[in-house]
Structure 1
């Protein structure tokens, strides 16, 4: 049976190919996926660089988006409900130039599971502010960017 990371990688690839081609273009890879945390890497290469040789801020936004979104996908699927996911807002603080492969990490998995439970059957929109850190582990443990995205869920069932 494939590991959770392999399943999530497959799901991200399919979602990128069929729903949001920009995700597929950036070629994200799941490094770790648990109930509490997800870590996704986007490699710094020609297609993800800006004119200064660091990661383009649009690619950083894609990384933050999928990190929060795919941490919520599994609990939504497990609920068996028709819960829609959207991001209500997006805040980014760019602290350093990301000059290597960027790892996006979110530790809000348990809070997201609770949010899915709240949204299940309620028919009203429920929100939660996700915190996502971006680092370049090959260069430093320092955070290069911080993202705050408001995850918004609604049960359409």
Structure 2
């Protein structure tokens, strides 16, 4: 884990404590992708002996949001970001360590360039896929982010 991801996880503790206490952690962040991880346990369980869907949602949203917020930070410009919609599909009980990955860094870069060039708000749909330790997909989350230049 890089020093950046350690700092980001400290940020989680202070700004998103519910995610931190449930075990959600950023594992890797590049220009192209983000990876988060969470292990099933008593803090994030549901009555059906698997991980609560909302915890999976926090880990999935973290991958998409980290890509967006890092691209905004690098631009040095004032841009607001907010989740407008989300959808999710669940295909298997989430047990053990679940890893979420979003590979849409290029889409974020393109969209942010459009926002800064035009000054208009734009939305993008981003996908984060959660896999268990065997590599099986347990859930897939889709988030519609809205980006708007601050004036």
Aligned partner (choices 5, 10, 19) of residue 7 of structure 2: 10
Mapped contact 1:127–1:150 kept (Cα < 8 A): yes
Aligned partner (choices 77, 80, 101) of residue 81 of structure 1: 77
Mapped contact 1:87–1:152 kept (Cα < 8 A): yes
Unpaired runs of at least 5, structure 1: none
Moved over 4 A (4+): none
How far apart in 2 are the matches of 1:109 and 1:81? 18
How far apart in 2 are the matches of 1:148 and 1:106? 10
Aligned to 2:145: 151
How far apart in 2 are the matches of 1:23 and 1:155? 28
RMSD: 1.6
Aligned to 1:122: 118
Aligned partner (choices 61, 65, 69) of residue 65 of structure 2: 69
How far apart in 1 are the matches of 2:44 and 2:68? 25
Aligned to 2:34: 38
When normalised by structure 2's length, the TM-score is 0.91
Number of residue pairs matched by the alignment = 151
Aligned partner (choices 87, 94, 101) of residue 98 of structure 1: 94
How far apart in 2 are the matches of 1:6 and 1:53? 34
How far apart in 2 are the matches of 1:30 and 1:14? 11
Q: Specify the SS of the correspondent of 2:70.
A: helix
Quick one: structure 1 residues 113 and 8, their matched pair in 2 at CA, closer, same or farther if it must change by over 3 Å? farther
When normalised by structure 1's length, the TM-score is 0.88
1:20-31 to structure 2, matched below 5 A, reads 20-31=16-27
